[in-house]
Structure 1
Amino acid sequence: MTEWSYTVKIWAIRKRDYRKPYQLRWKVGLRPHSESFLTQGLADSRRAQLITAAREGEPFDVETGLPKSMVAKKLDISWYEHARNYIAMKWGDSPGNTRRTLAEAMATVTPAFVKDTKGMPDNRTVRRALYSWAFNKNRWDEELPADVAKTLDWFKRKSLPMSALSDRLVVRSALSALSKKLDGETAAGSTIRRKRAIFYNALEFAIDAELLADNPLDRIKWTAPEQVVEEVDPECVPNPAQGAKLLAAVRDQGKRGRRLVAFFGCMYYAAARPEEVIGLRAKDCDLPRRGWGLLRLHETRPRSGKAWTDSGESHEKKGLKHRPRKAVRRVPIPPELVALLRWHLSAYGTAPDGRVFQTLRGGLVQDTGYGEVWAEARSRALSPAEFESVLAKRPYDLRHAAVSTWLSSGVEPQLVAERAGHSVAVLFREYAKFLKDGDDAANAKISARLEKGA
């Protein structure tokens, strides 16, 4: 931490027989300082600066001997440089997907912190240069493509100094930027909240680095643009009959489909996320010959992309989403899924590390591969009108189908949230429409109880 002192003594300039003959000497606290100059005028100018700062009551830095205003100016770096320092600070302890999120946030706000936009490349060129290169630490030692180098040189020249961020109007422009998508449309509420949180943290880092005195976001009254409530659209969710037809259409796609029918079944019957299914191991499955079984989910294999991981692999091994690393989610599974998994293990065995699902070569199941199978299943199982709609557009909609089925079956929301790996608050926010569908049944139960009491 910087040590400040108001005890300052400044001596007259003395001349010596050196290359820089004019020496200014002063003392801050008990620590002496000196600086030499080529001319008397330069020495007098610096001495006048120190005297003025002392008379105006500025604290002096004991280490450097400089008044606070001069220390701040000396430390002042550009936002672009600070953003890269922030990325470097966060990089080592962040998984691949978090690194991508950090880079995305910095790439969004950085164009707002420039002196002017003269000569700025188009939005897509800027986003590519910042997101894929400037804020991807894995690429800092690589040779830059010519267009990227030109774009980043422009930002190095045009980026505002950090001291400019003490102006609340400057910071407000960044809030406006993070509220928009690249095409100018308003971003999703969750995206705005995530980027704002990262931006706030980057400003806190600036305080730690003594580039800012306080966080300007704390002094700004700002409300994110109004958002549509983030609920699961019932139009996306297949009903049980449609779900069964879709799984059958997966199975009917030959060897490739048969290897994936249980994969999709885990999403549909157990509300598992795709990255949870990819990491599922046989030892974590209880699959009795009859009745219900159990999945113990505790590992995910999210796909971050090779550019963002230390290993150079596309997938990383992590714990459950938003849970402690060793947390386990126990999900009872119906006989239908038990049968699918028993058949799958009997037909294909496990990968060398015990994973249930693997490619023909024993690798991790890829989203591109299962995405193609799912697209083909929709074209086979759905009517032309359904195919053109948003019904089961993504494999992830199978997870929504599982949760909505549990809710419509009368399972307590707290238990549904536990099995799905949600908080109750998220469940009520995202599945509000499905909860409302149960109002009539709930009202009937209440009426029956009241009539019984009468």
Structure 2
Amino acid sequence: MTEWSYTVKIWAIRKRDYRKPYQLRWKVGTRPHSESFLTLGLAESRRAQLITAAREGEPFDVDSGLPKSLVVKDRDIPWYEHARNYIEMKWDDSPASTRRTLAEAMATVTPTFVKDTKGMPDARVARTALYGWAFNKNRWEEEPPADVAKVLDWFKRKSLPTSALSDLVLVRSSLRAISKKLDGETAAPGTISRKRAIFYNSLEYAVEAELLADNPLTRIKWKAPEQVVEEVDPACVPNPEQAAELLTSVRDQSPRGRRLVAFFACIYYAAARPAEVIGLRHKDCDLPRRGWGMLRLRETRPRAGTAWTNSGEAHDRRGLKHRPRKAVRHVPIPPELVALLRWHVTAYGTAPDGRLFQTMRGGVVQDTGYGEVWAEARTRALTPSEFESTLAKRPYDLRHAAVSTWLSSGVEPQLVAERAGHSVAVLFRVYAKFLKDGDEAANAKISARLGQRGRRAENPVHAPSTHFETGRSSARQCETVR
């Protein structure tokens, strides 16, 4: 660990009878340092460098005696190398989907930190090589194709030193790159925000590695495009009748559809995410013969691609979204879903690892497969105008339908949020329009209650006339006193 000190004493240059006769001496803290030079000019230049750093308040490294700016320069490495070091540091503790996001961010900013653009590969070719190979740690032991190797060699040769990122103009150019897609269009606000956060973190890592004196992003006045409020559009949410028609269409279209009807029903009746249903096991289901059952959701299997997972499988295995790894979400399920799951287990059994849902060949359910079934179900269940709209466009819209149904049924928002697996704040933000409808229903109830109070006030039984007579009598007494 580097020890820094602000206590610096610098002596005048002295001349001695040596091969390098001019000696500069200084002390950092209690540690003396010296350096000899061939000419007086070189000695004076170094002395001026140390004096300037001390006057500007730079800390000095006790071991080397050098100011922080010079220490950073001595330890400097190319940005390309630092970016790979950052990926390696983050890799093991990151889920597969996060690894992809990290690689995408580094592949976006790296082309902006080059000495010149002479011989620079096409933007799409460069992005593919950087994203798929340079910043994918799973492939570092593989030999890349010749065309990819050529692109990576170019970036190794042309990469600027990491210390160059102290230039704010240079860093600002990377923010422009983050804000744009490859076709030049402005990227989505969420994408920009994620990439900037990763870039910021990589610069913090450079500060920790003492490659930069500070994080240059903290000194740049830059405003990202405003984040669009994440809110579910009611137009995409099917009502209970439409949801039932869609599930029936899934069941009736093909053998593959019959295998998946209970899969989609879990999304609709339990507000489960598709990745949660993929990993759902039989032992995590309470399926009584009568009444409500229970799902215990404890795992999610998002599809990240074989190149990004530790197992080499397309689906990553991780805990529930935004929850501790061993967290379990308990979701009561209605008799309709209980009956479907009992039928599914009787008809198809379970996978060797206990999963409820598997392909006809016994594999993990793929998003492309259930997506095709869902698309066909929409053509069968919806009218032409509904099909052309955003209504139930994605299977995920069944989850929105579940939450909106619970809210419209009068279930407490806190309980809805708990069953759906997100915070109350997210519920209020994402389902604002549905909560607004709930407010209107609540207002109607309040108005009805206030109306009852008003009617009681007008009813002679509850509001005797003697009260008002007393008031008039009091008024006459006041007139008499006057």
- Calculate the TM-score normalised by the size of structure 1: 0.89
Which residue does 2:251 correspond to in 1?
251
Alignment counterpart, residue 52 of structure 1, candidates 24, 31, 48: 48
Which residue does 2:347 correspond to in 1?
347
User: Does the alignment pair 1:264 with 2:264?
Assistant: yes
Q: Structure 1 residues 213, 136: CA separation in 2 closer, same or farther (over 3 Å shift)? A: same
Which residue does 1:201 correspond to in 2?
201
- Post-superposition shift, 1:147? 2.9
- Contact kept? 2:294, 2:332, Cα under 8 Å: yes
- Contact kept? 1:82, 1:206, Cα under 8 Å: yes
Q: Structure 1 residues 44, 443: CA separation in 2 closer, same or farther (over 3 Å shift)? A: same
- Post-superposition shift, 1:27? 7.3
Which residue does 1:111 correspond to in 2?
111
Which residue does 1:142 correspond to in 2?
142
Q: Which whole-Å deviations, capped at 9, do the CAs of 1:112-171 have from their partners, x for residues lacking one?
A: 333444443333212211211111111122222233223323333333332232233332
Helix, strand or coil for the counterpart of 1:445? helix
Which residue does 1:101 correspond to in 2?
101
Greater Rg by CA: 2
CA distance in 2, matches of 1:22, 1:124: 57
- Contact kept? 1:12, 1:25, Cα under 8 Å: no
- Post-superposition shift, 1:89? 0.7
Q: Which whole-Å deviations, capped at 9, do the CAs of 1:3-34 have from their partners, x for residues lacking one?
A: 24535677757758xxxx99989675576778
CA distance in 1, matches of 2:15, 2:148: 52
Which residue does 1:295 correspond to in 2?
295
Map 1:412-427 to 2 at 5 A: 412-427=412-427
CA distance in 1, matches of 2:372, 2:182: 27
- Aligned letter for 1:427? L
Which residue does 2:153 correspond to in 1?
153
More deviation in 343-352 or 434-443?
Answer: 434-443
- Post-superposition shift, 1:45? 6.9
Q: Which structure 1 segments of 5+ residues have no match? A: none
Which residue does 1:378 correspond to in 2?
378
- Aligned letter for 2:50? A
Map 1:315-394 to 2 at 5 A: 315-394=315-394
CA distance in 1, matches of 2:22, 2:346: 87
CA distance in 2, matches of 1:369, 1:45: 75
Which residue does 2:475 correspond to in 1?
none
CA distance in 1, matches of 2:250, 2:428: 32
Q: Structure 1 residues 61, 287: CA separation in 2 closer, same or farther (over 3 Å shift)? A: same
Aligned residues: 446
Q: Structure 1 residues 414, 117: CA separation in 2 closer, same or farther (over 3 Å shift)? A: farther
Helix, strand or coil for the counterpart of 1:332? strand
More deviation in 429-438 or 329-338?
Answer: 429-438
- Aligned letter for 2:49? A
Map 1:22-61 to 2 at 5 A: 41=38, 47-56=43-52, 58=54, 60-61=60-61
Which residue does 1:235 correspond to in 2?
235
- Post-superposition shift, 1:47? 4.3
Q: Structure 1 residues 67, 218: CA separation in 2 closer, same or farther (over 3 Å shift)? A: closer
Q: Structure 1 residues 397, 357: CA separation in 2 closer, same or farther (over 3 Å shift)? A: same
CA distance in 2, matches of 1:14, 1:301: 75
CA distance in 2, matches of 1:256, 1:267: 17
Which residue does 1:129 correspond to in 2?
129
More deviation in 226-235 or 330-339?
Answer: 226-235
- Aligned letter for 2:387? F
Q: Which whole-Å deviations, capped at 9, do the CAs of 1:281-335 have from their partners, x for residues lacking one?
A: 1111111112221111111112221111122122222110000111111111111
CA distance in 2, matches of 1:141, 1:316: 21
Identity %: 75
Which residue does 1:444 correspond to in 2?
444
Which residue does 2:465 correspond to in 1?
none
- Aligned letter for 1:201? N
Helix, strand or coil for the counterpart of 1:228? coil
- Contact kept? 1:103, 1:131, Cα under 8 Å: yes
Q: Structure 1 residues 222, 13: CA separation in 2 closer, same or farther (over 3 Å shift)? A: same
Q: Which structure 2 segments of 5+ residues have no match? A: 455-482
Q: Structure 1 residues 137, 149: CA separation in 2 closer, same or farther (over 3 Å shift)? A: same
Q: Structure 1 residues 171, 377: CA separation in 2 closer, same or farther (over 3 Å shift)? A: same
Q: Which whole-Å deviations, capped at 9, do the CAs of 1:410-446 have from their partners, x for residues lacking one?
A: 2222221111111112112211222223343122111
- Contact kept? 1:178, 1:196, Cα under 8 Å: yes
Q: Structure 1 residues 63, 57: CA separation in 2 closer, same or farther (over 3 Å shift)? A: same
User: Does the alignment pair 1:71 with 2:71?
Assistant: yes
Q: Which whole-Å deviations, capped at 9, do the CAs of 1:173-204 have from their partners, x for residues lacking one?
A: 32232223333333333222222221221111
Which residue does 1:216 correspond to in 2?
216
Helix, strand or coil for the counterpart of 1:311? coil
Helix, strand or coil for the counterpart of 1:199? helix
- Contact kept? 1:53, 1:67, Cα under 8 Å: no
CA distance in 2, matches of 1:61, 1:27: 12
CA distance in 2, matches of 1:334, 1:183: 48
CA distance in 2, matches of 1:265, 1:284: 16
